Every structure is written in structure tokens, then in C-alpha cells.
Amino acid sequence: MKTTQLVALALLMFCTLVGKARERSAAKEALPRHHLMPVPAAMQFQPGRLALDASFTIAVKGHSDDRLRAGIERAARRLERRTGLEFAQGLGGDPNGVTLVIQTQGPGKAVPSVDEDESYSLEASSKQVVLSAPTVVGVLRGLETFLQLVESDRQGYFIPIVSIQDQPRFPWRGLLIDACRHWQPVEVIKRNLDGMAAVKLNVLHWHLTEDQGFRVESKKYPKLHLMGSDGLYYTQDQVREVIAYARDRGIRVIPEFDMPGHVTSWLVGHPELASAPGPYQIERRWGIFDPAFDPTREEVYKLIDGFLGEMAALFPDAYLHIGGDENNGKQWSKNEKIQAFMKEKGIKDNHALQAYFNRRLSEIIKKHGKKMVGWDEVLHPDLPQDIVVQSWRGQASLAEGAKKGYTGILSNGYYLDHMLPTSRHYAVDPIAANSGLDEQQMARILGGEACMWAEYVSPENIDSRIWPRLAAIAERLWSPRTVTDVDDMYRRLAVVSVQLEELGLTHEKHPDLMLRRLAGSEEVGPLKTLVGVVEPVKFYKRGELHQITQMTPLTRLVDAARPDSAAGRQFAAMVDGLLSDAPRFRAYQDGLARVLSEWRDIRPSIDVMIDRSAILREAEPLAKDLSEIGAAGLEAISYLSSGLAPAAGWREAKLALLDQAAKPKAEVELVVIPALKQLVIAAAEMPQLNSTSPAEWRKRVKALAAEKQPPAR
């Protein structure tokens, strides 16, 4: 009897434990996959939810000011637009009875600063959300997280139960916008500031002078902007407006006035500053040009002193960027007076002469109460260590500067104009894993800045070149180093990209608008299919393929193409799924066949579009290539599904076809070629499956596809 009772008790305990384990497993499965970007420093989700309905209210405990109230108002209106709910206006009364309680201790810095405290915590229960931060800026960061937490199902909108403690990994997280090579109006700057705030970036680096344009009003030297801008410049009132707009969002604004090179637009109105006689005119092309300031003339430093003093009073940030990059020194080498000066002063070469110029410049900047920022070229033993070096050369150069005592920020790897996929930018960390830096040296690396150089962007397509890729760079600069899952990044990025449209960003809207203009019709389905599987050529290859000037309309196919093809990634994932299903080859087969058939049959529709819109004529060879590689892909799938090996010479012919299709046309390239090569090689290598494991066979297919194929005989 006792034994029977013990067995029953043990069975009951076992069933209880199994039941609890199942409950824990079910609860774990019920936890949401969040869409937060950047990922917070620490977070813990629990089962449950807080419903959001028309009774949503907000109350503030502790410090309150205009910036805080404005930030809360913006967040509430965005939530209204997203949910379609109408909330009570203003702030609630009793914090115990509201949906969202905001607690902050103080306003933060009067002028946004690199040492601003941006930390916050967010505690969401089934009854209330409490957002706490030491400063208003921390609250602004937390409000963006709150908005990203909002979910929806058939029951309505809700916030999952979660505890978040968050702070940035790096204090300097920026975006450079070049308004010189192509003019960007104030509304472009503002909407991108809104996007930056949404993903917790905190520095707008405003590139304001360049060979192609002088873009800021100078009341002291009006010939600078009146003669060097084509009338396209920011008035000082507009500059103040942008600075105030950025401050309201916890963002610093750092101006860049590039010198001693990249100064052609300065010299149009002041040729006396140049190292060679004028006259000068605004440059319309791109590249590195000869004009440079004459560093031996005191008149140069006098004008720079006056101008930078004026700008130091206009821009309140502690830092001022002087550029300092890509001075080729040709005018200096040809100027006998400059060469005599160098000999007299014992200046051995142009690099040392630029260091002399930068040393004089740093004294002027310090006189006006600012700290100097410059590109890699400013790194020189003769310069004080309180300058900030912005590195276009890379992590190694940045780390070397840190070892020498210089603070710095990374831009190499974050050049958005290189048209690289998001994953490439996401993989770059300001501090390389093998940097060899100690903790003190690591602290000198302040963060990074993405760069949107404007050779090939207009107000119409600039957003599609910045977003949504910038959100992934923002995550790299904010989130813990361990946040590196690329697939999960793309999953969250798709959600965040749609949310960014709430702010007026045009990265999703304008590419479709451009396609309709190209087609001269609302019927753009085939053209959208074609553009969906191409990307603009990478790095600076576009300029090698087609001569473009500042006056060239940026309205062609390449200008509408996106830099990171979602269709290309999806196709590659389906091919990977199909080949991973060896030897059955059933997974994703139907989906691949539909896509490849659409490509194969695309030419007649594109031809009809070309007949009514001559600007699309350059799409003809692309449509031909896509049709032919679609047919090749269908053949490969047919061989794989039937188990039959292709005839001799088939592999070589199809790989030659793919190599031809891979060549850029109309300054774009088909991004599906690598995945199609895998299909072709897999079909040709199928007999190997009989003598090896599917995993080894798959590995061999990938290796062969990555090899450069010999030309077909």
C-alpha cells in the first residue's frame, strides 16, 4: 500500500513538473519577437500586455520644460496617427491613473553635448508604463523605444510587458549630410533630423562648403555665399531654425568648412586667398581639384578668423569641423613664393605645410572657444591632442590615433554613397576586435558617423540613399557589441523602415514616384520587378561609367534603384533553402519557379514601356539579361527536380551567360547572379550527391559558385 502511494505521489510530482515546464515553454513562446532598433543595452520581456486605447494619457513627475513637453506632444501625435485613436490633449493629472508616466530629474545640457546623459529605463506592466531618465534627452530616447514597442493584433494595440535599461555604447553617433555638391533644402535636413532622432542618433554633421558650393550666409563676407552658391544657401535664420529643431530632438549640429583644399567656391568671391591666380568659378564636376588656400599669406588667416568667428557665434556646438582632406598640393608645388616660404621655415613637404596651416587654424578655432575636428589628414605630431580625428581611412588608422592620444570617430565603412548593402555597414565596428587598444585608448574612440556625400543625390532620392540603412548603423553605434545577428537586423529593419515614413521621410515613396515618371504611366509592375533586382554600382564606379555634373538631372533608372535589394536577398534565401533540401529539392521550388518565370517573361512588357518612354531605352539590355538568366534558372531547377544531369557544355554556357549579365549596364548591376550561379553549379554537380553527403555537396556548390569561372570555350 505504501509503495503504491509513493509511486502515485512520484507520478503526481512528475506530471506537475512536466506541466510547469510546458507552461514555461508556452510562456516563452508567447513572448514577442521585438522590433526595437537600436536594441537596448538590457531588456527582459514577460508574458502579458498593456492595452492601448482612447483612454491613453501621459503624466510627468519631476522636471518639466518646453523641450520635454514638445517631445511628448510629438510622440502622442505619432501614436494617434498610427493607431487611429484620439487621445486627450495635454498631460494628465494623477500619475497613478495614467497610461504613461514620465519621470526626469533635470533638463540636461543647455547646448547638446558629447557628454550628455542619454540613459533611460522603461518599465511596462499590465497597468502602466513608467519611463525614467536623468535628463530630458534620456526621455526623448525612451519615447522612441516606447513607440517602437507598440504592437497590434485583432484585439487592438498594446505594449508588451517589458523591463528595459538602456544607454548608448558610444557618445558620438552621427550623420554627415553634404549640401554642397547637390543642394539640400531645409525641409530635407529637418525630416532627416526626425529620422535620426527616431533611431537615437545625436550628431548632424553639416557639410557646408565645397568646390561645388558655399552654402551658408556670411554677413561679414557676403561675396562668399553670393558668388559661390548659385543663390542656393542657408540664411543665418535658417541655420538657427535647424539648430533649434535639432536641439528639440537631442541632436547636436556640427558645421564643416573644408580647407585648405576643396575651396573653389570660396575663391570665386575671394581669389586673393588662392595659391594660384584666378579667376575661379564654381566647380560642376566631381573629384579632387587643384585650388587651395595660400598658407603663406596673412590675409588668408585674417579672413578665416573673421569668418570662423562669425560661424562660432552662429553654431553653439563645442566642435567645429575644418575638413582638411584631399588637398593634392599641386598649386603649392608650382608657386615659387610658397616654395621659398617652405625653405625659409624648414618645412620639408606639402604634408608639413598643411600641418603648419592646421596649427594656425587650430589656434583660431581655440580663440573662438571651439574644438577642432578634421579628417585623417589633420593627424600630425605638431597638432594639439584635443582635436578630434574623423577617419575615412579605417579602424586601424583610428586605433593608431587613439594610441597617440587623439580622440576620434569612424566613418570608413559607413559611407552611404558607396551603395553597399546594409549588412556590410552593420558588420563594421568603430573598435576592431583585434585593435589591441586598452580601456583608456578605447575611450578615445567616441563613435562614428555615416556619410551621405551628395554627388549622386537630389532632394528627391536622398532619403532612399540614407534610409533605412542608417538605422542599422545607428544600432551599431548604440547597442552592445554582441548585437550582430544580420537576419534579425533585416527583420526589424523592415518594420522600422515603415515607421520612419510617419516622420515624412520619402525613402519608400519617392522610388515608386520616380518609376511612374520613367514609365510615363501608373502601370509600373514589370519595371518595378526589374528595378527590384538591381542595385546601383558600388563605390565610385558610376563616375567611371558615365560623366555626370552638378547640372545633370538625377532621374534615370539608377537614381530610382535602391542600394540594398530586398528581392535579391529573398531570392538568395529561397535558393539556399532549395539546395539545403538536397536530394529532394522540393523546398521553395514553386516560389522560385514563379519568380524565375516572371523574369523570363519580362521583355515584352519592358519593350512596350520603352516604346512610349525613351528614357527607359537603357533598360533594354537589362531586361534581356533578366529574361535569359530567368530561363537559365528554370532549366537548373528542372534538372534538380528531375534528377537528370544536364548535357555536356550546359554548365559552361550558362555560367558564361551569367558572367555577361553580371556586367554593369545603365550604371546598375543585377544582384541575383551569385544565387543563380549556385543553381547552375548545383544542377551540374548533382551526380556528386551519390558519392558525398548533402552537407558536403552543398559546401562544394557554394565554393565553386564563389570562384571566378574561366571563360567558355
Task: List Cα–Cα distances, 72 to 65, 92, 168, 650, in angstroms.
Answer: 11, 12, 21, 64
The share of the chain scoring above pLDDT 70, in percent, equals 95
Return the pLDDT at 32.
Answer: 60
Return the pLDDT at 208.
Answer: 98
Average model confidence (pLDDT) across the chain: 94
Decide: 445 and 407 in contact? Cβ < 8 Å: yes
The matching CATH number, chosen from 3.60.9.10, 3.20.20.80, 3.40.960.10, 1.10.1270.20, for 217-231+257-384 is: 3.20.20.80
Question: Percentages helix, strand, coil for the chain, rounded to the nearest 5?
Answer: 50, 15, 35
Interacting residues of 634 by C-beta distance below 8 A, sequence separation 6+: 593, 596, 597, 600
**Residue 583 preceded by cis peptide, ω within 30:** yes
Mean pLDDT confidence for 697-704: 95
**Long-range contact pairs involving 636-642 (C-beta distance under 8 Å, separation at least 24):** 636/676, 636/679, 636/680, 636/682, 636/683, 637/578, 637/585, 637/589, 637/592, 637/593, 637/596, 637/679, 637/683, 639/683, 639/686, 640/578, 640/585, 640/679, 640/682, 640/683, 640/686, 641/585, 641/586, 641/589
Q: Which of 80, 241, 326, 620 is catalytic?
A: 326
Mean pLDDT confidence for 339-346: 97
Each residue of 93-130: pLDDT tens digit? 788 889 999 999 999 999 999 999 999 999 999 999 99
Mean pLDDT confidence for 596-613: 97
Domain(s) labelled CATH 3.30.379.10 in the chain stretch across 31-166
> What confidence category does residue 694 fall into, taking pLDDT thresholds of 50, 70 and 90?
very high
> What confidence category does residue 69 fall into, taking pLDDT thresholds of 50, 70 and 90?
very high
Each residue of 189-247: pLDDT tens digit? 999 999 999 999 999 999 999 999 999 999 999 999 999 999 999 999 999 999 999 99
Task: List Cα–Cα distances, 352 to 295, 300, 405, 445, 528, in angstroms.
Answer: 11, 18, 20, 25, 53
> What confidence category does residue 710 fall into, taking pLDDT thresholds of 50, 70 and 90?
low
Q: Is the pLDDT of residue 615 over 50?
A: yes
Residues 213, 265: Cα–Cα separation, whole Å: 5
Return the pLDDT at 27.
Answer: 38
Return the pLDDT at 712.
Answer: 42
Task: List Cα–Cα distances, 373 to 193, 356, 358, in angstroms.
Answer: 21, 16, 11
Decide: 58 and 104 in contact? Cβ < 8 Å: no
Return the pLDDT at 26.
Answer: 41
Decide: 562 and 506 in contact? Cβ < 8 Å: no
pTM value is 0.94
Q: Is 86 a catalytic residue?
A: no
What is the SS3 assignment for 65-120? CHHHHHHHHHHHHHHHHHHCCCCCCCCCCCHHHCCEEEEEEECCCCCCCCCCCCCE
Decide: 573 and 486 in contact? Cβ < 8 Å: no
Looking at the DSSP assignment, which residues form a beta bridge with residue 42? Answer: 165
Cell numbers 533644402 correspond to 185
Q: Is 558 helix (H, G, I), strand (E, B) or coil?
A: helix
> What confidence category does residue 621 fall into, taking pLDDT thresholds of 50, 70 and 90?
very high
Each residue of 530-548: pLDDT tens digit? 999 999 999 999 999 999 9
Residues 674, 700: Cα–Cα separation, whole Å: 14
Decide: 319 and 371 in contact? Cβ < 8 Å: yes
Each residue of 398-452: pLDDT tens digit? 999 999 999 999 999 999 999 999 999 999 999 999 999 999 999 999 999 999 9
- Please classify residue 155 by burial: count the beta carbons closer than 10 Å to its beta carbon, then call 0-12 exposed, 13-18 middle and 19+ buried: exposed
Interacting residues of 6 by C-beta distance below 8 A, sequence separation 6+: none
Return the pLDDT at 93.
Answer: 77
H-run or E-run covering 134: strand 129-135
Q: Is the pLDDT of residue 24 over 60?
A: no
Q: Is the pLDDT of residue 28 over 80?
A: no
**Residue 604 preceded by cis peptide, ω within 30:** no
Return the number of other C-beta atoms located less than 10 Å from residue 61's C-beta. Answer: 12
Each residue of 245-257: pLDDT tens digit? 999 999 999 999 9
Return the pLDDT at 16.
Answer: 44
Domain(s) labelled CATH 3.20.20.80 in the chain stretch across 217-231+257-384
- Tell which residue, 478, 510, 458, has the closest CA to residue 185: 458
Residues 613, 165: Cα–Cα separation, whole Å: 55
Decide: 330 and 290 in contact? Cβ < 8 Å: yes
> What confidence category does residue 13 fall into, taking pLDDT thresholds of 50, 70 and 90?
very low
Residues 583, 123: Cα–Cα separation, whole Å: 50
Each residue of 631-640: pLDDT tens digit? 999 999 999 9
Return the pLDDT at 529.
Answer: 98
Return the pLDDT at 12.
Answer: 45
CATH superfamily of 31-166: Chitobiase/beta-hexosaminidase domain 2-like (3.30.379.10)
Residues 672, 568: Cα–Cα separation, whole Å: 5
* Beta strand pairing call for 151-153 and 129-135: unpaired
Mean pLDDT confidence for 356-368: 96
Among 21-30, 493-502, 661-670, whose mean pLDDT is lowest? 21-30
